[in-house]
Structure 1
Amino acid sequence: MLKVSLRQISYFVAAAETGSIAEAARLANVAQPSVSWAILKMEELLDLELFVRQHAKGVSLTAAGHRLLPQARNLLRQAEDFEALARVQGHELTGTLTVGCYSTLAPVYLPRIIAEFARQHPRVKLEIHEDTVDDMLEKLTTGEIEVALAYDIDLPDEFLKLRIHTAPPQAVLPEGHRLLDRPAVSLAELRDEPFILLNSKPAERYFLTLFDVVGIAPQIAHTAQSFEVVRSLVGQGRGYSILVTRPLSDMTYDGIRIHYRPLTDELPMQHMCTVRAPTSRLTRRCQTFQDICVKLYSPKGRPLTTAS
């Protein structure tokens, strides 16, 4: 017989996320003593102290609380999935899906995915987190997000990945560049020109590795963490860049045309994939999200690899 209720677990998660019993009670629309009592009872049943309580300063998780929080979030998702399945007999999805996305990918791929998901399943609420890869992995581990979109670079082996789309690196050149009459260029032909490096993680290491592959040291003139800043610097004639993500428009934010050219060098490509935590359960909402990503961006509507 289960001794801890889903209500107690939901109060625990709310208090952990807000750092406040009072705020957890407000979100649950119940009296503060009800939340306090439920969490205290949960701690008694588990024989664990989940929070450190500081007068007038709210609550903070103990080590045990931190360990239990991801599983608590996962249990609430499973309960929500079960309830939705029972309510509509499996024909319509409801509830919330939390999605992370690497910031460079987000503006190019995510809006179309969101629009298609909303069209097919209007009763599901999508919560979007744009982050660095390190932050997304942390949020996947703690259960704050359920699935993420990222490039498959430096992702720990234990995370569950489904490859959706493969993209080669391309040279990005300003208007009037001497090589624009060429259908493709090599890194050797650009070696003496100023290079603009996208230095957000893990992009920086990937792009520098490309030069290592061909034995060339880039002449780094500028670095920027923003994908669009890199493009705009190229447009302003400050140098060339190497990028993988390519928007449909070749106009920069400040209204200048830039030009993409394939690279003739044998270089490693990047793979866009969905990522899940090693211990996560594949909910119907998450499976549907992955299916839509595959439908929109995979060749012939099939994933490039199965989840690992």
Structure 2
Amino acid sequence: MTPAFTLVQLRYFATVARLEHMTAAAAELNVTQSTLSSAIAQLELEFGVPLFDRLPRRGLRLTPAGHTLLARSAAFLEEAELISRSVREDTTVLSGDLVVGIYAPLAPFRAPVLLQQFTSEHPEVNLVFLEGDQGTLQQALLDGHCEVALMYDLGVGERFHRQIIEQIPPHVIVPAHHPLALAGRSEASLEEFAEEPLILLNLPHTREYYLGLFKQLGIAPRVRHVSLGYETVRSFVALGHGYSVLNQWVDHGMTYAGAHVVPIRLTDKLPPTEASLVRLAGIRPTRKSRAFEAVCLSLAERRTSAVDPGYSTVPTVAIEASHRTNR
């Protein structure tokens, strides 16, 4: 049986799903609320399931069926727009909005450069980053608030497809007056810090990763302070409150506290963190998100050629192999 819903109804649905409020969606679309309600009701009649739960005084919330429709409609709506543009203008230039999730500790290192490069290549696309922790980003993908997320592989469930972009090994940071820093040491074993106080980055999944490194070596860390903030951890260390284990390498060492930290590579054979592009499994990606993926890979290859000592990037062949095995 041929579906009877229209593109207009699907666009209305997507706007309501994004705003989770009928009145706000009607104002944005410049239509009456009754027109919008009618379109949603017709879609629900067509599919035979409710797409929203109506919450008194709180707006709307997508049902599981609504989440499925939202995820699968993104590429469909984009293709319809491109067809219209190609007929009218003989062009397939990408345009519109693209919301990308990004893991908060990654954002300062990756988001500005990605935005600059992506905007240069696709100036008519409005790229917006949604920052969050690992769990928040997975929920945002499930809710349709973003189509793709750049995040670590930590805690990513089977409902998601994952493409590895970089492998980033852990390292230690110490205050500038630490004996190893004063001795000019650039490498050390994690065991050398076993008796010193640890400043722990305490984000969900990230915390378990760092504590797992100690467990792998049979070390019981002396956790002195915990923090949800990457820069807070670095400032604690800079002022001599302890050392920390992190992944993102910062060469300059300056912290918000005004003092410096010194990064030291770890000689132990420890698992790296994998920075990946994550999206819902089984969903055809939009062209905009594929363009963002291409920019991520291109910039990762540039970082490889720069020989940054703080991370290693997965070779393109390995990335492609991972992509095939995760389909």
1:195 aligns with 2:209: no
What is residue 47 of structure 1 aligned with on the other side?
A: 48
Structure 1: stretches of 5+ with no match in the other structure: none
What is residue 133 of structure 1 aligned with on the other side?
A: 134
CA offsets, 1:82-101, max 9 Å, x none? 44555554552212211000
Taking the TM superposition and a 5 Å limit, the aligned residue runs for 1:10-29 are 10-29=11-30
1:251 aligns with 2:254: yes
319, 322, 325: which one pairs with 1:305? 319
What is residue 308 of structure 2 aligned with on the other side?
A: none
CA offsets, 1:222-259, max 9 Å, x none? 01111110000001100000110123431001221110
CA offsets, 1:83-130, max 9 Å, x none? 455555455221221100000000011110110010111101112100
Instruction: Say whether the 8 Å CA contact 1:192–1:219 is kept in structure 2.
Output: yes
Secondary structure of 1:144's match?
coil
What is residue 279 of structure 1 aligned with on the other side?
A: 282
Q: 1:65 and 1:133 mapped to 2: Cα distance?
A: 23
Q: 1:54 and 1:207 mapped to 2: Cα distance?
A: 40
1:74: Cα distance to partner? 4.8
1:235 aligns with 2:238: yes
Q: Report the residue type matching 1:117 in the other structure.
A: F
Secondary structure of 2:130's match?
strand
Bigger shift: residues 59-68 or 144-153: 59-68
Instruction: Say whether the 8 Å CA contact 1:74–1:143 is kept in structure 2.
Output: no
CA offsets, 1:139-175, max 9 Å, x none? 2223221111112223224522222222211110001
Identical amino acids, percent of aligned pairs:
34
What is residue 263 of structure 2 aligned with on the other side?
A: 260
Instruction: Say whether the 8 Å CA contact 2:174–2:263 is kept in structure 1.
Output: yes
Taking the TM superposition and a 5 Å limit, the aligned residue runs for 1:102-141 are 102-141=103-142
Q: 1:143 and 1:52 mapped to 2: Cα distance?
A: 16
Task: Give aligned pairs, total.
Answer: 308
Q: Report the residue type matching 2:277 in the other structure.
A: T
Q: 1:114 and 1:48 mapped to 2: Cα distance?
A: 39
The alignment yields a C-alpha RMSD, in angstroms, of 2.3
What is residue 296 of structure 2 aligned with on the other side?
A: 293
Bigger shift: residues 279-288 or 64-73: 64-73
Secondary structure of 2:72's match?
helix
Bigger shift: residues 80-89 or 230-239: 80-89
What is residue 146 of structure 2 aligned with on the other side?
A: 145
Instruction: Say whether the 8 Å CA contact 2:102–2:150 is kept in structure 1.
Output: yes
What is residue 174 of structure 1 aligned with on the other side?
A: 175
Bigger shift: residues 206-215 or 65-74: 65-74
Cα 1:248–1:30, aligned 2, differ >3 Å: closer, same or farther? Answer: farther
Instruction: Say whether the 8 Å CA contact 1:73–1:143 is kept in structure 2.
Output: no
CA offsets, 1:13-35, max 9 Å, x none? 32333333222211111122221
What is residue 164 of structure 2 aligned with on the other side?
A: 163
Secondary structure of 2:187's match?
coil
Secondary structure of 2:274's match?
strand
Bigger shift: residues 287-296 or 5-14: 5-14
1:136: Cα distance to partner? 1.0
Taking the TM superposition and a 5 Å limit, the aligned residue runs for 1:212-223 are 212-223=215-226
Cα 1:188–1:201, aligned 2, differ >3 Å: closer, same or farther? Answer: same
What is residue 225 of structure 1 aligned with on the other side?
A: 228
Cα 1:83–1:114, aligned 2, differ >3 Å: closer, same or farther? Answer: farther
What is residue 70 of structure 1 aligned with on the other side?
A: 71
Structure 2: stretches of 5+ with no match in the other structure: 306-312
Q: Report the residue type matching 1:104 in the other structure.
A: P
What is residue 205 of structure 1 aligned with on the other side?
A: 208
What is residue 101 of structure 1 aligned with on the other side?
A: 102
Cα 1:217–1:26, aligned 2, differ >3 Å: closer, same or farther? Answer: same
Instruction: Say whether the 8 Å CA contact 1:81–1:95 is kept in structure 2.
Output: no
